[in-house]
Amino acid sequence: MYNSWEELELNCRKCEKCALAKHRTNLVFGYGNKNAEVLFVGEGPGENEDLQGKPFVGRSGKLLDMYLHSIDLDRDKNIYIANMVKCRPPQNRDPKPEEQDICIDWLREQVRIMRPKIIVCLGRIAAQRLIHPDFKVTKQHGEFIDKNGTLMMGTFHPAALLRNPNNKGDALDDFMALQEKIKQVCKHTYDEV
């Protein structure tokens, strides 16, 4: 347990607990407003993220920003974005369960310190790990589930939307539902835009 966000980040950046650390250019701790009430969780860094040390900076990041902006969310203002694993899996493969097991402690600490009101899981990897092991994005996207006082929702991963644009409308519906939920349960998210 860390006393501050800064102490957590400093220690996380030195992490060598799993094999992914060996191949990283940069660890991707996360990006955004650490006082935000809404946390987005992706899967893990890809090539561009590894090079720049920031989450969702490639094509899928552009699409994510479009969805965010459509409901007045902005990674520079009122949300925070993190990933299930902080280092890039080789060839962008799924992070292995054992890599997630090790890395999830960093995310848990981020959540403990941030205390977000809403966590949005971007894609299957995050949703199955954080919401339910059998979570099916195509069936359960957009549903809010209360987990110990934090509302959790899973939606499509932006990279999956680039591969399968048929789901873009459903994803937009999820973001509209998110906007309504934020208005209901968040106090300052929309004050800061």
What is the contact surface with ligand URA in residues (CB under 6 A)? 28, 42-46, 49, 55-56, 60, 83, 159
Min dist. Cβ of residue 86 to ligand URA (A): 10
Label residues 113-145 b or e (16+ Cβ within 10 Å = b).
bbebbbbbbbbbbbbbbbbeeebebeebbbebe
Taking the least distance from each CB to ligand URA, the nearer of 59 and 188 is 59
Residue nearest ligand URA, Cβ-based? 42
Taking the least distance from each CB to ligand URA, the nearer of 56 and 67 is 56
Min dist. Cβ of residue 58 to ligand URA (A): 6
Burial (CB < 10 A; 0-12, 13-18, 19+), residue 169, is exposed
Taking the least distance from each CB to ligand URA, the nearer of 9 and 49 is 49
User: Distance of CA 91 to CAs 56, 57, 88, 94, Å?
Assistant: 16, 17, 8, 9
Taking the least distance from each CB to ligand URA, the nearer of 102 and 122 is 122
